[in-house]
Structures are given as structure tokens and as C-alpha cells.
Amino acid sequence: MEKDNINIEYYPEDVLEFAREHPKFVKKCETMLTDVVLEKSTRSFTGLGSGKKSFLTTLVFEHFHLDMCTYGGKNSKTVTDVFWKEGCKVPDVLVSEVMNLIEKGIMSANNADNRNMLFEATIVIINVIKGTTMDDLKKYLKNFRNEMYVEKAKKENTFYLHFYKKMRAKDCMTFI
């Protein structure tokens, strides 16, 4: 495979931080999600805390392009099933591989460096209505689905829309 054919994945800082703190869980997730893609199957995760579920959700929807459903609760264990879907893929670069590069000093933990190499433009959306999720924004901006990466900012009610192409960011601004 030529170097030009590899797509560098963008992992938000909160995902990288989680991966640094939970390397075994990260490897387990990547292995299971890779199996779902390659075997066109389903895998179940049980008893995920909010941090682990948030991490899994980012990998499932943003990087592997799979689908998932969570059920159970109050009186029973919560189960999260991850499903194969048309168009899913194994990322060219996994988060564990990015962490290895950071640990070796080859790549920076500062995502601003990575973001500038990957995205041509970023739109910052502030004062978003409380309770709005990344999924809500993605549904609203479905015409830009494969051309951007949505990231929740640390500041409350703020999101980043990172665009691979500056022209599509301009189109999005017009749409908004």
C-alpha cells in the first residue's frame, strides 16, 4: 500500500486521554469492532460506565462507521450491542497505534498539530441549545456527513465542525 493511500484518523483529545488511561479496554474495543467489520457480525458490551460508553460510541460511529444500540438498565445489566452495517470499515490507523506513536515521540499529543494536517477548516458553534448532542448536529448537517468530523468542545454548549475541505465548510456556513 502506498503512503498516499493511508487516511490519517483524527482522534479528539478526550479520546486520546481515555486511551492513555485505559489501554487494555481500548485494545479490546478495537479487536471486537474489527471483528464486527470483518465478520459482518454483532458484539455485545456489558456494564459500561459513561466514560467507556462515550469512548466506544466515538469509535463505533466516527471511525468504524458501525451502528449500536443500548438496552437494559434499572433492574438489569445495561448491554450495548454493536452491529455491522453497509459502508463500515476498519480505520487505517487505530487509536492504540496513535498512542504508540505519541509514546515514542513520533506524534504529538497536541491534537492541534494533527488537526491542522487533516482538516482545512473548522467551524466553532457556540451557545448550542442545552441537551443538543453531536448526533443531533450530524442529523441536521446530514448533507455534509462524510466531509466533516464533529467534536464536542470542553466549553459547555460548544461544538467544533472540522472539515476536510475549506469549500465544504463555506457551504456549511451558508446552510447554517
The answer for residues whose C-beta is within 8 angstroms of residue 167's C-beta and 6 or more apart is none
Q: Each residue of 124-141: pLDDT tens digit?
A: 888 888 888 777 888 888
Residue with cell 469512548: 55
Residues 8 and 85 in one domain: yes
- Pair (95, 132) in one structural domain: no
Q: Estimate the crossing angle of helix 50-58 against helix 13-21, to 10 degrees.
A: 120
Whole domain around residue 46: which residue ranges?
A: 1-110
Same domain, 159 and 86: no
How many domains are there within the chain?
Answer: 2
Beta bridge mates, 163: 121, 148
Is 103 found in the same domain as 125? Answer: no
As a three-state string, the secondary structure of 115-172 is HHHHCCEEEEECCCCCCCCHHHHHHHCHHHHHHEEEEECCCCCCEEEEECCHHHHHHH
Same domain, 88 and 34: yes
Helix (H, G, I), strand (E, B) or coil at 43: strand
Could you say which of 72, 91, 110 is where a domain stops?
110
Check whether residue 106 and residue 127 sit in a common domain.
no
Per-residue pLDDT of the chain (176 residues; tens, 9 = 90+): 344 444 567 888 888 889 999 999 999 999 999 999 999 999 999 988 888 998 999 999 889 999 999 888 777 788 999 999 999 999 888 898 888 877 777 665 555 555 556 678 888 888 888 888 777 888 888 888 777 878 787 788 888 888 878 888 889 888 88
- DSSP code for 64: S
Same domain for 25 and 97: yes
| Residue reference for cell 449500536 | 68
11: left (phi over 0), alpha (psi -120 to 50) or beta: beta
Residues 65, 146 within the same domain: no
Pairing of strands 67-73, 76-83: antiparallel
Which of 81, 110, 139 is the C-terminal boundary of a domain?
110
70 and 128 assigned to the same domain: no
